[in-house]
Amino acid sequence: MNAIQLSGVDKTFGRVRALADLTLDVRAGELTALLGPNGAGKTTAISLMLGLAQPTRGSVRVLGEDPRYDAVRAGIGSMPQESAIPQALTVREAITLFARLYPAPLTVDRVLELAQLTEVAGRRAGALSGGQARRLAFALAVVGNPQVLFLDEPTTGMDAGSRQAFWGAVDGLKAAGRTILLTTHYLEEAERTADRVVVMNAGSILADGTPESLRGSVLTSRVRFTSDLVLAELKALPGVESAAVDSRGHADLQTRQPEEVLRALFVRGVAFSELEVGRASLEDAFLSLTATPATADTHRA
């Protein structure tokens, strides 16, 4: 079953077309990362899926229903980018209050544990650190034991330890069959946790697949080394799709045929050092997908 279904969705704000004919199906139990540069339409798409706004055109279904119905909302949890948590309540009180809004919530102690907030349960929300406040927002998103969970840039402001524990909790929810849709600007996190990556730009989907397939669809390898070759010579090497070089001769090439590049260097007797050959990262794929031709030229002349 599809947990989330957007069909032909447009959302306009005055003259801004934030979403343009967006169609997206998310299967139940899938962990999807929605990526895109600032202004791509990610938050707008999530607000439609949460039933907080209406599409200008097209339809939005969550758990098979219009998410503006209260009955559907009981099955949805959301961790927004900025949450308005009553600052005077303690962590435990805030979670208890939110639990009352749902028909079958988790216990408060379980939620404190999931969000690693047990030790600060008695602290007022207004006195939490940035990372703890994000964890409280997560706690409030999961307290209703939702089938579908939206996480909008969840780990912003969390330190490395909190992040690791946070992804552990998300893994647990996924293992329990929850459908999770998240946005993040940390591409390595998307790569590690998501079953599926959807890249948006200007309100539409640019690419959709597993992290592995997205990496593969763009450029498979990066070859880096230091030599005397100038940019024109680097670009002329066989199989090179883009090249950059700095003033100290550090070359950075993207290619689908790293072996061809290395062979040419050896055959021509080019003296080089500090050779590194690696797979393109999801970040490389993302930048290549979302770069406008003008930006691509600037970065990779």
Ligand X SMILES: Nc1ncnc2c1ncn2[C@@H]1O[C@H](COP(=O)(O)OP(=O)(O)OP(=O)(O)O)[C@@H](O)[C@H]1O
Where on the chain is the footprint of ligand X (CB under 6 A)? 13, 16, 18, 36, 38-44
Task: Please state the closest distance from residue 206 (CB atom) to ligand X, in A.
Answer: 12
CB burial string 190-203: b at 16+ within 10 A, e below: bbebbebbbbbbbb
Q: Which of residues 77 and 203 has its CB atom nearest to ligand X in the complex?
A: 203
Q: Which of residues 10 and 195 has its CB atom nearest to ligand X in the complex?
A: 10
Q: Which of residues 48 and 91 has its CB atom nearest to ligand X in the complex?
A: 48
Task: Please state the closest distance from residue 152 (CB atom) to ligand X, in A.
Answer: 8
Task: Please state the closest distance from residue 100 (CB atom) to ligand X, in A.
Answer: 30
Written in H, E and C, the secondary structure of the chain is: CEEEEEEEEEEEECCEEEEEEEEEEEECCCEEEEECCCCCCHHHHHHHHCCCCCCCEEEEEECCECCCCHHHHCCEEEECCCCCCCCCCEHHHHHHHHHCCCCCCCCHHHHHHHCCCHHHCCCEHHHCCHHHHHHHHHHHHHCCCCCEEEEECCCCCCCHHHHHHHHHHHHHHHHCCCEEEEECCCHHHHHHHCCEEEEEECCEEEEEECHHHHHHHHCCEEEEEECCCCHHHHHCCCCEEEEEECCCCEEEEEECCHHHHHHHHHHCCCCCEEEEEEECCHHHHHHHHHCCHHHHHHHCC
Q: Which of residues 11 and 215 has its CB atom nearest to ligand X in the complex?
A: 11
Q: Which of residues 52 and 88 has its CB atom nearest to ligand X in the complex?
A: 52
Q: Which of residues 43 and 254 has its CB atom nearest to ligand X in the complex?
A: 43
Task: Please state the closest distance from residue 47 (CB atom) to ligand X, in A.
Answer: 8
Distance CA 171, CA 292 (A): 35
Task: Please state the closest distance from residue 86 (CB atom) to ligand X, in A.
Answer: 24
CB 183 within 8 A of CB 152: yes
List all residues 6 or more positions away from 14 whose beta carbon is below 8 Å from its beta carbon. Answer: none
Task: Please state the closest distance from residue 291 (CB atom) to ligand X, in A.
Answer: 16
Task: Please state the closest distance from residue 269 (CB atom) to ligand X, in A.
Answer: 48
Q: Which of residues 10 and 241 has its CB atom nearest to ligand X in the complex?
A: 10
Task: Please state the closest distance from residue 40 (CB atom) to ligand X, in A.
Answer: 4
Q: Which of residues 152 and 261 has its CB atom nearest to ligand X in the complex?
A: 152
